[in-house]
Copies of this chain bind each other. A is one copy, B any other.
C-alpha cells in the first residue's frame, strides 16, 4: 500500500474503532432482543451503521427465518381439534408486515419516532410482507390454526391495514383486533393482555404468539409458546 505511515495509522485506528463498535453493537442488539435493555428511544449513535447493515443484509432475513422454523416446529407438535378453537396470535408491524422501506428512509431507528410520518406511511398500505412470516402464516393456516391478528394500530387504520395485508398475500384471519378509543392510552402489554384474556374467555386456546416486541408476548394470559421476532430499530413498552 502506498499510503504514508500517518495515513496507515489513521486507517488502522478506524478499523479498530469499527471492530469495537461492531462488538458493542452486537451485544446491544442481543440485550434488546432478550429484553435486558428495557425501554429505549433510539438506536445508540455508534450503532446506526450496524443496525442498517443488520436490517438490510442477510442477518435479519436469517434471524427471521429461524424464528419461523422454530415456530413451525412447535406448531406441528400441537394437537389440533376440529372445534375451531386452536389459535395463533400475530402482531402486524415488523411481524407480518415489514416497515423497512419507511425505516430505511428515516435512519433505521436512529431518530426519534415520528407518529405523523409513520401514519402517512401506514396509509399508503404498501408495506411488504416479512417473507418468513408469510410462509409461516400459510403453513399455520394449513395446519388448521385460527389466526388472530392483534396490533397496536388503531381502529381508524382498519381498512388500510386489511388492504395492506390482503395485497401482500395474507388472508383468512379469524379476527383483526386493533386499538379502540378506550385502548388509546394503554401500554401495549396491558392492551394485548386484556385482549388475550377475552380470547381465552371465548374458549380459544392460544398456542402460539408471534411478535417483534416483548410487550406483544409478556403480561398475563400468555400463549403456551411465544416467539420473539428480531427488531433492533424501535421499542414499544
Contact = CB atoms under 8 A, between A and B. Distances in A.
Interface of A: 23-24, 26-28, 30-31, 33-38, 58-59, 62-63, 65-67, 70-71, 74, 225-228, 230
Given A26-B62, A27-B65, A38 B70 contact: yes
Contacts of A70: 31, 36-38
Contacts of A33: 30, 33-34
Contacts of A23: 58-59, 62
Contacts of A228: 34-36
Copies in the complex: 2
Nearest to A70: B36
A237 to B, nearest CB: 12
B230 A38 contact: no
B225 A27 contact: no
Nearest to A210: B36
A53 to B, nearest CB: 13
5 contacts: A27-B62, A27-B63, A31-B67, A33-B34, A36-B66
Contacts of A27: 59, 62-63, 65-66
B67 A35 contact: no
A24 B66 contact: yes
Contact of A30 (B30, B38, B71): B30
A226 B35 contact: yes
Nearest to A69: B31
Contacts of A227: 36
A71 B31 CA distance: 10
Nearest to A19: B58
Nearest to A60: B27
Contacts of A58: 23
B74 A28 contact: no
Contacts of A30: 30, 33, 63, 66, 230
Contacts of A71: 36
Given A23-B62, A62-B26, A74 B31 contact: no
Contacts of A225: 38
Contacts of A28: 66
